A = this chain, B = another copy of it.
């Protein structure tokens, strides 16, 4: 039972990947890139430390440009992030070898998040199962599992050390002469999974 899991190298997508292995799935981690930067390498590095197979899924540059249009027009990034995530899930689900897709979205997330009709639509249109291991967990449970499992580095924000969509979105905004800080909320800290805490290898 192989599952293709959208992976950023962060805590949530790492915890989800671990849960999938505990349920008996063979997990293939997949990081989305638009090819404007190589920040997907941070996800690969974490994937290797955790012992997972990892691949990059390139999405068309137009998807990123359209997301940037949305972010500029809205003045905030939520719809843009949602749009990219849906495009990523659809691109992954449409690959012929893919039967199950997964991500690290949480119960308490606003974006990216597929509501029930969208989740079912994804499954039906692409004939896949869509698995969200964190959906039934609250922040306390996610925190206790993450702390038990992973060594996490928390440091002041240096965006290029992450492999999430936001980094390339910020990059393309800067290319357009727009300061991403006008659109994205400021974040002082970010976290990155460095490896297993010990008992899991």
Where the two chains meet, the residues of A that have a C-beta atom closer than 8 Å to any C-beta of B are 1, 19, 22-24, 100, 107-108, 116, 119-120, 123, 129-138, 140-141, 144-145, 148
CB within 8 A of A141: which of B100, B120, B138? B100
Q: Do the beta carbons of B135 and A123 come within 8 Å of each other? A: no
| Contact A23-B22, Cβ < 8 Å, known A107-B119, A144-B1 | yes
8 contacts between A and B (CB under 8 A): A19-B23, A107-B119, A119-B138, A129-B138, A129-B141, A132-B136, A133-B136, A135-B136
Work out how many copies of this chain go into the complex: 2
Given contacts A108-B116, A119-B138, A129-B141, list 20 more A-B pairs with CB under 8 A. Answer: A1-B144, A19-B22, A19-B23, A22-B22, A22-B23, A23-B145, A24-B145, A24-B148, A100-B141, A107-B116, A107-B119, A120-B138, A123-B138, A123-B140, A131-B136, A131-B137, A131-B138, A134-B136, A135-B136, A136-B136
Docked Cα-Cα span, A103 to B201, in Å, equals 30
Closest to A149 in B: B24
Docked Cα-Cα span, A144 to B3, in Å, equals 13
Residues in B neighbouring A141, C-beta threshold 8 A: 100, 129, 131
Docked Cα-Cα span, A100 to B135, in Å, equals 16
Give the residue among A100, A119, A136, A140 with the most B Cβ atoms within 10 A: A136
Closest to A141 in B: B129
Residues in B neighbouring A19, C-beta threshold 8 A: 22-23
Docked Cα-Cα span, A148 to B133, in Å, equals 18
Least distance between A142 CB and chain B CB atoms (Å): 9
Closest to A18 in B: B23
Docked Cα-Cα span, A138 to B1, in Å, equals 15
